[in-house]
């Protein structure tokens, strides 16, 4: 069981964000919280979540923007996407990504 409260940790995080030049070790001692936990929380909150969790995302940031732009364009044209339509579009993108691309044409120019 931790010997500090959630409020102590929250206050320490706020302090570290307000004054990033003060070492987190000093702030941890001031609020009586573990330095490593404070450091990890401050580091995690300072990083862009889209960047830190990109490996866990189904689509890249660019793909997400393209999907959103397409949905906006369709809505502006009077054809808003339903949730089922959006699911179908995203599933097609996933399927295309997982299907190996075959050579187009057949002119014998395939590299071996």
Q: Which residue has the tokens 């206050």?
A: 11
Give the residue from 52, 3, 2, 30 showing the smallest Cα distance to 13.
30
Say if residues 17 and 42 touch (Cβ distance below 8 Å). Answer: yes
Q: Which residues of the chain have pLDDT under 70?
A: 1, 45-55, 101-112
pTM for this model (two decimals): 0.43
Please report, rounded to a whole number, the percentage of residues in the chain having pLDDT higher than 90: 47
DSSP 14-25: HHHHH-TTS-HH
State residue 112's pLDDT score: 46
The answer to whether the Cα torsion of 48, 52, 57, 61 is positive or negative is positive
- What does the domain layout of the chain look like in residue ranges? 6-46, 56-98
Give the residue from 1, 8, 3, 5 showing the smallest Cα distance to 31.
8
């Amino acid at each position: 069981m931790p010997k500090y409260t959630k409020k102590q940790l929250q206050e320490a995080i706020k302090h570290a964000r307000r004054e990033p030049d003060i070492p987190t070790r000093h702030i941890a001692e001031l609020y009586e919280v573990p330095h490593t936990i404070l450091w990890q929380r401050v580091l995690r909150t300072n990083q862009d979540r889209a960047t830190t969790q990109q490996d866990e995302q189904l689509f890249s940031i660019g793909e997400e923007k393209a999907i959103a732009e397409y949905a906006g364009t369709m809505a502006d044209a009077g054809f808003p996407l339903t949730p089922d339509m959006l699911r179908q579009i995203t599933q097609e993108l996933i399927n295309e990504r997982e299907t190996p691309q075959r050579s187009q044409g057949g002119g014998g120019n395939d590299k071996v």
